[in-house]
Each structure stands twice: as structure tokens, then as C-alpha cells.
């Protein structure tokens, strides 16, 4: 295996296996892992970033556009460069930020976006293009011959990690929490807020994205209430636990809407084994700290240029030295405290470069003391200076520093790291939605949270505070306020007294001086290679507003969601425009507040569980008898039975033929059924159906049609009158819910006052259809003597209620097949025995495929005709319309357009040659105008009864006369069929068979 040890000058990689590193997150136990094909060893608690840096691996990635070599910049999810792919294809997880990726034994990691290797990447030659590939260059070219000619290559070059090939992710656990106070962030502000709220008696939940609490207390060396920070944190955790507060680690708050907060727990930083929390807090305290900002200077993206806080975290958490001889560069007093801490760890700080004038730095206090100590140690502290360029390629060699008053007088420093801090941007994104806002404040030189809806508060950095004492006091006050708002009355006690790094006294400094030509190597958004030159160019091209600039240059659209780049970019734009940053603003941030996996949103609804499955009580009988299921809305229904044919087509024909010749049974339990009961039931139904329901006699049913408000047919079904004031309305399968809502709507709005109860009894009744010439005989056999006479006398569209095996049974004589048929409505506990008895007595089952053939032969309507675009007139219900019943939708039915000659009319079709197929979905045209559609075939089947294909179609009225010759055009599936218009009823038009 080829070695990938980088060449380094003057820097010894830390010897491994000799003495374990010590850090707040480390244990000594070794962990083995692979990176780009080579094995490395880290320690338990290490992240990929810390372990690799500890072994001297500085080169961790390449940027998107220019493929520049990159190292680690940050210590959190704001890391733009070091994105790794975990796993072996095809099961890979791309784009995992190295500082978030906690090591496990055997982890296989790869760098991304490079070929053939990280060190020697072919596409990095693009860097020579420099200004050619500036912002938006692809809008200006790639036009000839077409974008498509270039697209494939560009798509392969774009993108970061490899596409995942398979996902073995476990669905998350989902937990619902309600609490009084939710606190986002367990840094100093968050912990103080939690303490106050919990002491006041509120139920508290805290979400902390990291695997440890404390935020910057982890490395700052603060003193709180007279103890060291670590000690204080331990005491707080214990107290919170004792008071019943819930601390969720590795849990990032990702989003939500209006009072619902969604948090996602991902221990280890890899997707999988995770929990989604759905939290409804009474109050939400945003205490998520702030993200450190880089400063733009020439080649500020080289491996070895890192955020100062990242280096401090690497040292404190993992005992990793980012550079043995670093140069520090920034615009605030923290520089010195940090330098002192690094020095105490044996690191030789080369110099500190402060862009502020010396007068701006604190003259007393901890910062001044730190500076004095640095001077004593021989570390040069420069003021009014800036790092203007980094030197080196894959390995950092030095820094070029110049005074701001004369940027041409460059001094060179040898160093192996440049640790940069341009200040901090408060993490207020969780406070920006639902009328939340932010505003720029000069004090913090940052955007802080502004007005918030009542249920959200901010604390600490989000409020613009940057000194530890202020942060803790603010957090404590916020927690207290939040608890009181929830009605908690306990005493929060005294706020903790903290002293750490004091007020940084920051003066904004966003970019070092550079010539125009050098600006294209001053990086603002590292991942997307957006430079100062790009920002300048965008402005020149008229993209002045920061939103336009974001879209044009792609500033802030990377995986770090603009955390390091957006505000830096906005500030530089403000400088270029000569305006204040407050005026320019920063581009809108969008949720999620933290990148969240699709798996977390999919939850448990994955694979077969995407949506529920509804089964009839007879489901298992169908399966046991060779039924092939079909999904229909949520229901599982049987399409055909295997014994009858190899596929739906042949089985359907066989089953349909048998029903006509002899008989069969069908499970129609999914039929929608709504009971309509009450004094006003008859009158009420009169207004919802095209024909009157009040004229239906008790004991009889009628085929009825509902209209939608605009006159289109909404649904059809048989309505039974069970009693004077009691009806059963049936609806199409899967329509019951919708029709029920429609009925309830009119009862509760237009006719409120109507004494009508509506009950959905779809699931209360199983329905078995027994159809065919033999059906009556079999039914009499199965139901027994008490039923004989009744069944003999039962006329078409009448029903009788009785009992079978001591359970209720309703037998309705109605037919959708056109044969003598009976619908048996019974409770589910006798459905199975009844069905089995009928089968045993000689009626075999048939499925939906056969049903479609049977109903089509009779010209009966189904969903393909009742498609929401057809009126009763279109469907041939002239008789019903003549009744002129003033029901819902009747008036709009009279609109002239619905009576025009081109309006569709329901017809039957036969192939002229009596052989060709006619399929649903074919378009109908006249023979001599092949491109003008006159309608379409709604459904077409091969009819065993007639020995040829038959169809139902909707054809323009003026072409719908029987005998008209038309063409069914079906270029998608094979071709044209010459057809003849017939009546929709193809078989037994008088209905003699079903009325026998």
C-alpha cells in the first residue's frame, strides 16, 4: 500500500504508541482506523480530525471548484474542508466533517473530491485557470452546442462525496417530549440557564450537540464560583440530574415549526443509531454560542491555517498540537490568553499579529498580563499588523506579515501553523424563523438576535455577549425568566460568578490588504472557493444585494451552511460597497439549523411502512387461496386468483367467464358505507344526491349519484333506506372518508340545524358479493331454510335483514356484474365462515380484474369514468337530470359550456375488425384529423362473453352517435385501432339476467 506520509519541514509528527495523549475527551485505549487506504491508530474519544492531525496528516481534502489542497479549519460542524467518506462502497456515508466523526475500531475513511489521490489530484490543474473560473463563469459559456454536452463532466467534477449506494440505516427512535423550558446549548450560557430554570422548579430539557457539555469552558481555564470550570460543570450536571432535568448529548436542534422543536441525536457523528426528539416546550432558550470567523488573506486556505479556537479545542480535548510553532492572527484580546495557554502546553508561539492599534488592547487585567508574559518569553506581539499571505502549498512554511499603514513592507515569519480568529458570529439561526430577526451590533461586531416570538429567548452570545461573566449572568437571567413564564415559582438563587477570558474588545477586521490580482486567492467561503475577487466581480456585475451575491457566487451554500463564510462575505461586501454591515445585512439563513439526515425525517415510515395497509377480514383467505393482491388507496384487494391463470389478463377472463356461466364470490368489504340517521335524513339526502332519496321505499335501494359543487360527478353508489329516518349510503372504495367529510360539511354549514347523524360504518360491515346464475341457489343452501322464501321473493334493488349463525346479516339484491347477484353485509366475525361456506357450496372467488370485465360489459361506471371531469350528462344520466332535483352542484351544471357539442359523452366502442385490442388511455380521433382529440378510452378489456375487445370511452357529443367510425390512437403502446361507436351497454341491455 502506498505511503501517504506528507513531506514536512521542521515538524515532527507526534510519535504514536509511545505515550497516549491526554485530553478532556480522550481515553488511553487505542482505536484502529483506515484513512485513504492506510491504517492509523487513535485513542478512544478521538475524532478523525484529531487522530489524523496527531499522526501528522495535515492534508485532509480538496475544495470543490479549484481542488485546492485543504486541511482542518474548524473543530465543529462548521468545518468546510475536511469532509470524509465513511464506509466501503456501496454502503458509504459521504461528507462527514472530520472533527465530528468519533472514531470506532475498524472505521474505513476516505478523503473526497480528488483523483487519483489526495496528494496528486489531476483536476487541481484547474487552479491555473484562476480568473477564468471566477464566480458564475458557467453562466457565460457552455452555451454552444448545448449545456448537455458539458453537463456530464461537470456533474462528475461537482459534488463532494460519493453517492451512497445502499443505506443500512436503522430508523431512528422517536421520542416525544414536552417540558417547560428547552435550552439549546450546554455551554456556559446554557448551563447557567438550566440551573436557574431547574432551581425555580421548571421541567428542563437541554440539548447539546457535542458529546460533552461546557462549550468554551472546556479549554478556557475559567473560574466559576471559586472552582475550576471542570469542577463546576460536574457539580451542575449532578444538580440538574438530581432536579430531574434531562440532558441530551450529541443532540442538535435541527428545526421544527411554530412551537414544535425537532432535535436529532447522533452519537458518534455518523448517521445511524439515532433518536429524533419532538419537543413542545413552553419556552425555548437559544444558548448555542458563537462560531469563530476566519479572516481573508492571500492563501488563507492552506493546510495549517486554522481557526484559533479549533487549535485550542484540539489541544484541550485531544492533546493534539496543531502546530509546534504557530503564528496567531486576530483582532481581539483573546489572542493573548490563547497564546499563553498554548505556550503553557509547550508550544512555541512565533508571534501574535493583532490588526488593532495597541491602544485598543486592554491595558490591565488578564489579557495584559498574558501579553506581558509573552513578551518575557520572547514572543513578538505586533499591533496594527495583519498576515497578508500564507506561504507554502500542502505544507505551510511561513506567514507574510505587514503593517496596515504600509502593506508593502512585508516581514516573513517561519511557522507551521497560522491560527486565525476574526471574532465570532453568534449562532442565532434557530431564532430567525417565525418572525424572529437579527440585527448587527457594533459592540460585538456581529449579528445578534433581535425580536423573538414570545416563546423564544436568547442567551449569551446570541444576545451579543462575549465575555464569560456576562454570558453566564445573561444565561442565568434567561433561564429564570423562562421558568417564571411557565409558572415556576421556586427561587433560582444567586447566579454563578465567573471569570475567564474577559471582554475581547474586538475591532472588526475582515480581510488583509491585497492587490486586485491577489484577491482571487483570498478565500471567504472555503468549500465553494468563493474569494474576495468573486465578491468584487459580483458587485460589478450588478449583484449588489447580499441575497443576489449569495446566489451568484454560491457563498454559504455548502455543507457548513455558511457558518464561517456568510457573514465574513457580507462584511467584505459592505467594505467593497463602502456601507455598514448593518445596512448590507447578511443573507437569509434557512433551516435546518444543523444538517439533518433524510432518515431522521423519514422516521419509521420506511420501506413497507411508508403508509399503513388496510386489509379486509377476508385477507388471509384470499392469500391462502392463491389471491394476488393489489394496492388500492390504503387497501389491499385481490386482483385475481392464481388457479385461474398465469397473469391478471388470462385469469381475469377466466374468472369473468365463469361468473356469467355459473357464479362466483367477491370480497367487496372495502365498499364505503355511511349511515345517515335522523329526523331530517331524507330531506338532507335529497339535497346531496342528484335524484331524491326521500322517494326510496323502506327495504329498497337505489343507484344514486352525488355532484361536486361545480356540477361534476363526485361519487356514485347504492343508497338503502333501512327505515323512515335511516339510510345507508354506499360510496366508492376508498372514498368513504372524503364523502363523509362532504356530507358533514353540508350538514354543519349550509344546513346546520339539520337533525342528521352521520356515521362511517365502512369497517363495521364486511361485504361479500355472490353473483351468477347459481348464486341464489347456493345462497339458499348456505343461509338455510329461514332464508329460502325471502331470497326467492327478493326483487332487484331490495334488501332484507336477518340473521345467520345468530349474527346480523343483510342481503341486498344488487349487481355490478350484470348477473343475478346478492351483496351480503355482515359483521366481520362471520365474514370468513360465510365466505368459506359459499366457496364450499360451489361459488369460486373472482377478483377485481374479472369485476372490471363484467362491469364494462354492462357499461357500468367506475373510477375511470368518474374522474372528476365528467358531468352526469356526459355520463348519460339524462334521466336523473330531468328530475331537476335542486341538489348541491345542480345550478352550475346548467352552465352553457357543459352542454356544448365538444363536451364528452359516454359511449361503448368495438374494434371494426372485431379482433384488435382497445386499451384504456387511448385517445380517440376522427380518421381524417389525426391530431385533434375527440376524447379517450376510459377502460378497455377483452370480453369473454362477446369474444372480442370492448371498451368504454368518453367521446365528443357530436361524434358520439352509434355507428360512428373513429380511431383509437395509442402511439405509446403500439398503434391505432379503427373503432365503431356503440351503446355503452355491450351485453344484455335490458338487464334481464340480473333481474331474473
Partner 1 sequence: MSSLACPFCGPRELDEFLFHKTLPEAQGDEYAVYERANRIDDSLEHWQHVRGCRAWLRVRRNPSTGEVREVQLLGRGHS
Partner 2 sequence: MNGAQRYSAWALLRARLAGPGYWRSLWSGATLKDAYDVVVVGAGGHGLATAYHLAHDHGIKRVAVLEKHLVGYGNVGRNTTIVRSNYLLPENHYFYEDSLRRWERLSRVLNYNVMYSPRGVLDLAQSDGDMIGLARRGNAMRLAGIDAELLDRGGVLEFAPELAVSGPRRFELVGGLLQRRGGTVRHDAVAWGYARAASALGVDIIEDCEVTGIRTAGGLATGVESTRGYVKAERIVFAVAGHTGTVGGMLGLTLPIETHLLQAMVTEPIKPLVGSVHVYAHPHGEAYVTQSDRGGVVMGGFLDGFPSYTREGQWYRLEDVVQTAVALLPHLAGLRILRHWAGTNDMTMDGSFIIDRIRHDNVFLNGGWCYGGFKAIPASGAACATFVATGTAPDLIRAHGLSRFKTGHLLDERGAGPFPSRQ
Q: Does 755 bind partner 1 (CB under 8 A)?
A: yes
Does 155 participate in binding partner 2 (rule CB under 8 A)? yes
Query: Quick one: which segment of 23-31, 483-491, 558-566, 577-585 binds partner 2 (CB under 8 A)?
Result: 558-566
Residue placing its CB nearer to partner 2 in the complex, 4 or 602: 602
Q: How far apart are CA 310 and CA 206, in angstroms?
A: 24
* Residue 985 interacting partner from partner 1, partner 2, none (CB closer than 5 to 8 Å by kind): none
| C-alpha to C-alpha distance for 729 and 455, rounded to whole angstroms | 48
Beta carbon of residue 590, minimum distance to partner 1 (angstroms, whole number): 17
Q: Does 760 bind partner 2 (CB under 8 A)?
A: no
C-beta separation of 555 from 548 below 8 A: no
Under the binding rule (CB under 8 A), the answer on residue 973 touching partner 2 is yes
In sequence order, what are the residues at sequence separation of 6 or more whose Cβ sits closer than 8 angstroms to the Cβ of residue 361? Answer: 333, 336, 354, 367, 368, 371, 383, 505
| Residue of 100, 597, 766, 917 that binds partner 2 (CB under 8 A) | 597
Burial 277-308 (b: 16+ CB within 10 A, else e): bebebbbbbbbbbbbbbbbbbbbbbbbbbbbb
User: If 0-12 CB within 10 Å is exposed, 13-18 middle and 19+ buried, where does residue 793 land?
Assistant: exposed
Intra-chain end-to-end CA distance of the chain, in Å: 86
User: With binding defined as CB under 8 A, does residue 792 bind partner 1?
Assistant: no
- From the list 100-108, 370-378, 567-575, 588-596, the region that binds partner 2 by CB under 8 A is 588-596
Residue closer to partner 1 (CB basis): 736 or 934: 736
Distance (Å, whole) CA 549 – CA 207: 34
CA atoms of 445 and 150, how far apart (whole Å): 44
**Residues of this chain, 857-886, that bind partner 2 according to CB under 8 A:** 863-864, 867-869
Which residues, 730 to 749, sit near partner 1 by CB under 8 A? 737, 740-741, 744-745, 747-749
Smallest gap from residue 869 Cβ to partner 1 (A): 16
Contacts to partner 1 from residues 407-436, by CB under 8 A: 434-435
Query: Sign of dihedral through CA atoms 99, 101, 104, 110?
Result: negative
Q: Report CA 969 to chain centroid distance, whole Å.
A: 41
Q: Which three cell numbers stand for residue 260?
A: 414544535
Of 133 and 751, which has the nearer Cβ to partner 2?
133
Nearest to 546, CA basis, from 567, 512, 522, 570: 570
Please identify which residue in 30, 56, 171, 259 interacts with partner 1, judged by CB under 8 A.
259
Nearer to partner 2, 452 or 775 (CB): 452
Q: Which three cell numbers stand for residue 494?
A: 444567586
Checking 356-361 for CB contacts under 8 A at 24+ apart, the result is: 356/331, 356/332, 356/383, 356/384, 356/505, 356/507, 356/509, 357/383, 357/384, 358/383, 358/384, 360/505, 360/507, 361/333, 361/336, 361/505
Strand partners, 970: 975
258 binds partner 1 (CB under 8 A): yes
Cβ-based nearer residue to partner 2, 786 or 868: 868
The grid coordinates of residue 466 equal 462575549
- Quick one: 712 or 907, whose CB is closer to partner 1? 712
Residue among 260, 497, 883, 972 that touches partner 1 (CB under 8 A): 260
**Interacting stretch for partner 2, rule CB under 8 A, among 54-62, 614-622, 751-759, 917-925?**
917-925
4 binds, among partner 2, partner 1, none (CB under 5 to 8 A by kind): none
If one asks whether residue 272 binds partner 1 (CB under 8 A), the answer comes out as no
Site for partner 2 in 669-728 (CB under 8 A): 708-712
To partner 1, the closest distance from the beta carbon of 887 in angstroms equals: 11
Q: What is the DSSP letter of 121?
A: B
Region from 257-265, 571-579, 726-734, 823-831 binding partner 1, contact rule CB under 8 A: 257-265
Neighbours of 435 (CB within 10 A): 9
Closest to partner 1 by CB, 261 or 939: 261
What is the bridge-based pairing of β-strands 904-911 and 948-956?
Answer: antiparallel
Query: Rule CB under 8 A: which of 52-81 touch partner 2?
Result: 64
Is position 633 an interface residue for partner 2 (rule: CB under 8 A)?
A: yes
Q: How far apart are CA 497 and CA 51, in angstroms?
A: 36
Collapse the DSSP code of 73 into the 3-class scheme (helix H, G, I; strand E, B; otherwise coil) and give the result.
Answer: coil
- Interface with partner 1 in residues 839-898 (CB under 8 A): 891-892
d(CA 275, CA 609): 18
- Candidates 257, 929, 933, 958: give the one binding partner 1 (CB under 8 A): 257
**Residue 175 binds partner 1, judged by CB under 8 A:** no
973 touches, from partner 2, partner 1, none (C-beta below 5 to 8 Å by class)? partner 2
Q: Determine which residue in the list 485, 602, 628, 881 makes contact with partner 2, applying CB under 8 A.
A: 602
Residues 522 and 575 sit within 8 Å (Cβ to Cβ): no
Scan residues 165-204 and list those touching partner 2 (CB under 8 A). Answer: 165-167, 169
Here the cell at position 162 is 460519493
Most distant CA atoms of the chain, gap in Å: 116
Q: Which of residues 679-718 bind partner 1 (CB under 8 A)?
A: 709-710
Q: Which of 116, 346, 378, 542 binds partner 2 (CB under 8 A)?
A: 542
Please state the closest distance from residue 430 (CB atom) to partner 1, in A: 16
**CB of residue 407 vs partner 2: minimum separation in angstroms?**
18
**Residue 259, binding choice from partner 1, partner 2, none, Cβ under 5 to 8 Å by partner class:** partner 1
Whole-angstrom Cα distance, residue 771 to residue 667?
11
Residue 746 Cβ, how far from partner 1 at the closest point, in Å?
A: 10
| Radius of gyration of the chain from its Cα atoms, rounded to whole angstroms | 38
Asked whether position 141 contacts partner 2 by CB under 8 A, the answer is: yes
Residue 143 interacts with partner 2 (CB under 8 A): yes or no: yes
Helix (H) or strand (E) segment spanning residue 736: helix 736-748
- Which parts of this chain interact with partner 1 (CB under 8 A)? 256-260, 434-435, 709-710, 737, 740-741, 744-745, 747-749, 752-755, 891-892
Amino acid at each position: 500500500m502506498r505511503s501517504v506520509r506528507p513531506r514536512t519541514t521542521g515538524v515532527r509528527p507526534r510519535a504514536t504508541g509511545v505515550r497516549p495523549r491526554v485530553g478532556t475527551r480522550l481515553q488511553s485505549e487505542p482505536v484502529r482506523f483506515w484513512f485513504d487506504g492506510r491504517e492509523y491508530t487513535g485513542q478512544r474519544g478521538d475524532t478523525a480530525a484529531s487522530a489524523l492531525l496527531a499522526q501528522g496528516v495535515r492534508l485532509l481534502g480538496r475544495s470543490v471548484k479549484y481542488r485546492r489542497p485543504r486541511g482542518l479549519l474548524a473543530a465543529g460542524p462548521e468545518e468546510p474542508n475536511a469532509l470524509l467518506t465513511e464506509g466501503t462502497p456501496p454502503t458509504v456515508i459521504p461528507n462527514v466533517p472530520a472533527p465530528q466523526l468519533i472514531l470506532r475500531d475498524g472505521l474505513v475513511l476516505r478523503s473526497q473530491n480528488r483523483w487519483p489521490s489526495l496528494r496528486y489530484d489531476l483536476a487541481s490543474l484547474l487552479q491555473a485557470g484562476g480568473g477564468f473560473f471566477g464566480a458564475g463563469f458557467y453562466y457565460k459559456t457552455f452555451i454552444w452546442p448545448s449545456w448537455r454536452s458539458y453537463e456530464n463532466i461537470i456533474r462528475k467534477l461537482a459534488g463532494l462525496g460519493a453517492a451512497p449506494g445502499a443505506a443500512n440505516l436503522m430508523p431512528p427512535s422517536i421520542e416525544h417530549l414536552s417540558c417547560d423550558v428547552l435550552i439549546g446549548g450546554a455551554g456556559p450560557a446554557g448551563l447557567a440557564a438550566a440551573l436557574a430554570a431547574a432551581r425555580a422548579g421548571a421541567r428542563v430539557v437541554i440539548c447539546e450537540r457535542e458529546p460533552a457539555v461546557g462549550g468554551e469552558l472546556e479549554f478556557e481555564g475559567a473560574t466559576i464560583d471559586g472552582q475550576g470550570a471542570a469542577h463546576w460543570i460536574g457539580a451542575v450536571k449532578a444538580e440538574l440530574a438530581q432536579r430531574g432535568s434531562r440532558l441530551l448529548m450529541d443532540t442538535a436542534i435541527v428545526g421544527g415549526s411554530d412551537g414544535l422543536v425537532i432535535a436529532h441525536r447522533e452519537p458518534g457523528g455518523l448517521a445511524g443509531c439515532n433518536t429524533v426528539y419532538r419537543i413542545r416546550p413552553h419556552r425555548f432558550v437559544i444558548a448555542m454560542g458563537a462560531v469563530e470567523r476566519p479572516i481573508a488573506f492571500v492563501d488563507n486556505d492552506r493546510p495549517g491555517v486554522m481557526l484559533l479556537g479549533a487549535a485550542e479545542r484540539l489541544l484541550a480535548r485531544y492533546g493534539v498540537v496543531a502546530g509546534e510553532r504557530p503564528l496567531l492572527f486576530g483582532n481581539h484580546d483573546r489572542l493573548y490568553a490563547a497564546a499563553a495557554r498554548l505556550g503553557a502546553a509547550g508550544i512555541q508561539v512565533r508571534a501574535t499579529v493583532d490588526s488593532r492599534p495597541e491602544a485598543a488592547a486592554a491595558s490591565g487585567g488578564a489579557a495584559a498580563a498574558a501579553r506581558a508574559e509573552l513578551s518575557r518569553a520572547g514572543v513578538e506581539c505586533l499591533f496594527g499588523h495583519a498576515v497578508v499571505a500564507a506561504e507554502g502549498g500542502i505544507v505551510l512554511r511561513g506567514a507574510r506579515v505587514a503593517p496596515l499603514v504600509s502593506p508593502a513592507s512585508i516581514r516573513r515569519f517561519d511557522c507551521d501553523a497560522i491560527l486565525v480568529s476574526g471574532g465570532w458570529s453568534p449562532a442565532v439561526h434557530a431564532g430567525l424563523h417565525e418572525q424572529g430577526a437579527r440585527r448587527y451590533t457594533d459592540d460585538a461586531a456581529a449579528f445578534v438576535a433581535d425580536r423573538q416570538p414570545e416563546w423564544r429567548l436568547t442567551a449569551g452570545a446570541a444576545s451579543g455577549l462575549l465575555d464569560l461573566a456576562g454570558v453566564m449572568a445573561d444565561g442565568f437571567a434567561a433561564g429564570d425568566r423562562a421558568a417564571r413564564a411557565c409558572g415556576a415559582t421556586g427561587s433560582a438563587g444567586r447566579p454563578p460568578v465567573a471569570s475567564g477570558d474577559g471582554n475581547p474588545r474586538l475591532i472588526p477586521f475582515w480581510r488583509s490588504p491585497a492587490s486586485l490580482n491577489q484577491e482571487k486567492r483570498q478565500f471567504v467561503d472555503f468549500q465553494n472557493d468563493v474569494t474576495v475577487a468573486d465578491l468584487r466581480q459580483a458587485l460589478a456585475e450588478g449583484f449588489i444585494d447580499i441575497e443576489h451575491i449569495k446566489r451568484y457566487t454560491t457563498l454559504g451554500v455548502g455543507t457548513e451552511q455558511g457558518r464561517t463564510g456568510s457573514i465574513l462575505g457580507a462584511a467584505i461586501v459592505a467594505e467593497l460597497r463602502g456601507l455598514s454591515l448593518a445596512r448590507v445585512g447578511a443573507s437569509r439563513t434557512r433551516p435546518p439549523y444543523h444538517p439533518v439526515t433524510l432518515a431522521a425525517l423519514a422516521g419509521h415510515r420506511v420501506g413497507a411502512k411508508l403508509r399503513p395497509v388496510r386489509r379486509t377480514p377476508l385477507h388471509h383467505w384470499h392469500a391462502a387461496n392463491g389471491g394476488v393482491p393489489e394496492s388500492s388507496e390504503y387497501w389491499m384487494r385481490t386482483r385475481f386468483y392464481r388457479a385461474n391463470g398465469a397473469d391478471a389478463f388470462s385469469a381475469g377472463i377466466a374468472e369473468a367467464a365463469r361468473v356469467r356461466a355459473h357464479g362466483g364470490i367477491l370480497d367487496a368489504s372495502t365498499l364505503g358505507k355511511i349511515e345517515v340517521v335522523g329526523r331530517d335524513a331524507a330531506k338532507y339526502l335529497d339535497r346531496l344526491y342528484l335524484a331524491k332519496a326521500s322517494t326510496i321505499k323502506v327495504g329498497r335501494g337505489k343507484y344514486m349519484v352525488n355532484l361536486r359543487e361545480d356540477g361534476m360527478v363526485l361519487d356514485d353508489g347504492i343508497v338503502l333506506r333501512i327505515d323512515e329516518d335511516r339510510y345507508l349510503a354506499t360510496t366508492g372504495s376508498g372514498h368513504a372518508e372524503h364523502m363523509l367529510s362532504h356530507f358533514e360539511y353540508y350538514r354543519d354549514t349550509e344546513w346546520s340545524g339539520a337533525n342528521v347523524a352521520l356515521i362511517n360504518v365502512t369497517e363495521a360491515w364486511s361485504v361479500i358479493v355472490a353473483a351468477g346464475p347459481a348464486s341464489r341457489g347456493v345462497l339458499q343452501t348456505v343461509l338455510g331454510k329461514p332464508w329460502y322464501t325471502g331470497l326467492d321473493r327478493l326483487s332487484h334493488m331490495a334488501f332484507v335483514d336477518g340473521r345467520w349463525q345468530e349474527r346480523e346479516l343483510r342481503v341486498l339484491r344488487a349487481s355490478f356484474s350484470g348477473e343475478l347477484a346478492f351483496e351480503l353485509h355482515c359483521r366481520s366475525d362471520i365474514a370468513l365462515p360465510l365466505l368459506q361456506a359459499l366457496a364450499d357450496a360451489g361459488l369460486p372467488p373472482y377478483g377485481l380484474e374479472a369485476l372490471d370485465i363484467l362491469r364494462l360489459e354492462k357499461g357500468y361506471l367506475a373510477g375511470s369514468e368518474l374522474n372528476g371531469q365528467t358531468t352526469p350528462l356526459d355520463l348519460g344520466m339524462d334521466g336523473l337530470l330531468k328530475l331537476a332535483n335542486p341538489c348541491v352542484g345542480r345550478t352550475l351544471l346548467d352552465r352553457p359550456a357543459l352542454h356544448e357539442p365538444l363536451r364528452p359523452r359516454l359511449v361503448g366502442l368495438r374494434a371494426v375488425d372485431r379482433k384488435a385490442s382497445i386499451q384504456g388511455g387511448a385517445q380517440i380521433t376522427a380518421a381524417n384529423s389525426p391530431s385533434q382529440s375527440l376524447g379517450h378510452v376510459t377502460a378497455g378489456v377483452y370480453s369473454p362473453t362477446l369474444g372480442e375487445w370492448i371498451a368504454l370511452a368518453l367521446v365528443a357529443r357530436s361524434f358520439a352517435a352509434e355507428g360512428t367510425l373513429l380511431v383509437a390512437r395509442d402511439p405509446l403502446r403500439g398503434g391505432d385501432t379503427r373503432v365503431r361507436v356503440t351503446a355503452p351497454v355491450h351485453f344484455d341491455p335490458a338487464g334481464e339476467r340480473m333481474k331474473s
